[in-house]
């Protein structure tokens, strides 16, 4: 399952859903078929960010429970010539209501239909997170330039690195304010990459228009004049292999135990 | 970024990681003891594992110390 990519973070509210909506849209605008799945069961949001909330008839829980067909659960975005599809989360169920094996079967079906599957993980490192990351072959860890977010990202990185299904892991630094880079209280992006010891696929600036676009249901990436749109498109290009990732991995200060551990790839 | 902030962040992550690698050490110890105990009567509580430097060229080896229960040896006699 090479093109199943989970967006996760540990800490909540760092921009996972915003990034899934915009990167998903950007990939679709490159004429690739992509499905975005909201795994935040009980707290569904992704449908609103992409402005598809009114079209939803069924959700991922219905699907894994066999209560509806894939056709019922997939909602297509006409603005992308139906290249982008969404499977919404359920608003009334709980994380436990997804059966991991059934979820796997759904992913297998989706793989035959789409080039990319992007999973929007809930915050935290519990059940919803575990199910979201389980079958992903790539993981994007979203982090804000704040110590609480960095600490949680470090915890999530360790969980992803030790997962039984090997994952290619990248960081996305979101809500970055370049103008503060030199401030004593600010953590510059290169420091975040160095500290977390994972490759970074992109840095997205802080921009108040994100809020405006999220509220309007039109992903900001449609506004091609924005700096953040360019930043999103660069990540999309890296994902679809149009572009080599420029930001490289820095050395991680690992413990002796971790250094000695065999790489099980 | 001030060096104070940088040091604070580094020490937070170092502390967290220490706890995590302690967990993986515990996990390995448990797995090794579980495997060995299907061959020997291992005293699981006394299992020690370690990574030690073997020579000046910084080569390392993993050592495992797994005491066999005295009762098991007595039975043999
Ligand atoms: N680059 C950005 N610039 C400004 N605001 C942003 C940016 N990215 C996200 N936001 C804002 O941050 C808030 C949280 O975003 P979002 O809901 O995408 O986060 P999340 O990680 O999915 O949250 P949760 O953990 O609750 O699922 C939103 O109000 C969004 O508008
Ligand atoms: Mg979200």
Q: How many domains does chain A have?
A: 1
- Chain mean position to CA A254: 26
Confidence of residue A265 (pLDDT cuts 50, 70, 90): very low
Q: Over 80: is that where the pLDDT of A211 sits?
A: yes
Q: Over the stretch A104-134, which tens digit does the pLDDT of each residue have?
A: 999 999 999 999 999 999 999 999 999 999 9
A177 touches chain B (CB under 8 A): no
Domain boundaries, chain B: 20-70
Under 8 Å between Cβ of A157 and A8: no
Q: How far is the CA of A107 from the centre of ligand 2 (A)?
A: 20
Give nearest CA residue, ligand 1 atom 30.
Answer: A211
- Decide the pairing of beta strands A200-205 and A168-176: parallel
C-alpha torsion angle, residues B46, B49, B54, B60 (rounded to 10): 180
Question: What CATH number is attached to the domain comprising A213?
Answer: 3.40.50.300
Higher pLDDT among residues A71 and B73, named by residue? A71
Q: Considering chain A, what percentage of its residues have pLDDT values greater than 90?
A: 86
Q: How far is the CA of A106 from the centre of ligand 1 (A)?
A: 27
Confidence of residue A264 (pLDDT cuts 50, 70, 90): very low
Site to probe by mutation for ligand 1, drawn from A210, A212, A215, A227 as the one with most ligand atoms within 8 Å of Cβ, is A210
- Cα angle A98, A100, A103; round to 5: 75
Instruction: Provide, as residue numbers in chain A, all residues whose Cβ is less than 8 Å from the Cβ of B2.
Output: 184-185
Q: Over the stretch A135-169, which tens digit does the pLDDT of each residue have?
A: 999 999 999 999 999 999 999 999 998 888 999 99
Confidence of residue B25 (pLDDT cuts 50, 70, 90): confident
**Residue of B17, B50, B53, B58 to mutate for A, most A C-beta atoms under 10 A:** B17
A226: closest CA among A8, A7, A22?
A22
What's the sign of the alpha-carbon dihedral A80, A63, A166, A173? Answer: positive
Alpha-helix residue ranges (DSSP H) falling in A114-208? 127-134, 147-161, 189-196
C-beta of A16 in contact with ligand 1 (< 6 A)? yes
C-beta of A100 in contact with ligand 1 (< 6 A)? no
Q: Over 60: is that where the pLDDT of B38 sits?
A: yes
What's the sign of the alpha-carbon dihedral A102, A104, A105, A107? Answer: positive
Q: B49 pairs with which residues across the strands? A: B64
Q: What is the pLDDT of residue A16?
A: 98
């Amino acid at each position: 399952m090479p093109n199943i990519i989970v967006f996760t973070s540990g800490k909540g509210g760092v921009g996972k859903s915003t990034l899934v909506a915009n990167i998903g849209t950007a990939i679709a605008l490159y004429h690739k078929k992509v499905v975005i799945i909201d795994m935040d069961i009980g707290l569904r949001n992704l449908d609103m960010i992409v402005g598809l909330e009114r079209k939803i008839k069924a959700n991922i829980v219905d699907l894994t429970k066999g209560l509806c067909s894939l056709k019922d659960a997939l909602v297509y975005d006409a603005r992308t010539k139906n290249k982008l599809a969404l499977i919404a989360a359920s608003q009334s169920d709980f994380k436990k209501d997804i059966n991991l094996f059934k979820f796997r079967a759904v992913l297998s079906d989706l793989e035959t239909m789409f080039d990319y599957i992007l999973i929007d993980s809930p915050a935290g490192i519990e059940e919803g997170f575990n199910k979201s990351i389980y079958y992903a072959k790539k993981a994007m860890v979203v982090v804000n330039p704040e110590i609480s977010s960095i600490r949680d990202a470090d915890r999530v990185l360790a969980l992803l690195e030790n997962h039984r299904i090997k994952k290619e892991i990248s960081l996305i630094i979101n809500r970055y304010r370049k103008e503060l880079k030199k401030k004593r209280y600010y953590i510059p992006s290169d420091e975040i990459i160095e500290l977390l010891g994972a490759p970074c696929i992109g840095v997205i600036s802080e921009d108040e228009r994100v809020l405006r676009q999220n509220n309007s249901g039109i992903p900001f990436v449609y506004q091609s004049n924005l700096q953040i749109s360019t930043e999103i498109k660069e990540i999309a290009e890296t994902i679809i292999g149009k572009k080599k990732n420029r930001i490289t991995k820095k050395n991680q200060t690992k413990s002796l135990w971790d250094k000695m551990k065999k790489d099980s790839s | 970024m001030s060096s104070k902030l940088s040091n604070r962040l580094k020490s937070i992550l170092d502390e967290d990681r220490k706890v995590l690698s302690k967990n993986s050490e515990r996990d390995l110890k448990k797995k090794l003891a579980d495997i060995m105990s299907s061959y020997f009567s291992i005293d699981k509580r006394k299992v020690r594992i370690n990574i030690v430097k073997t020579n000046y060229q910084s080569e390392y080896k993993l050592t495992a110390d797994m005491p066999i229960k005295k009762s098991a040896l007595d039975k043999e006699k």
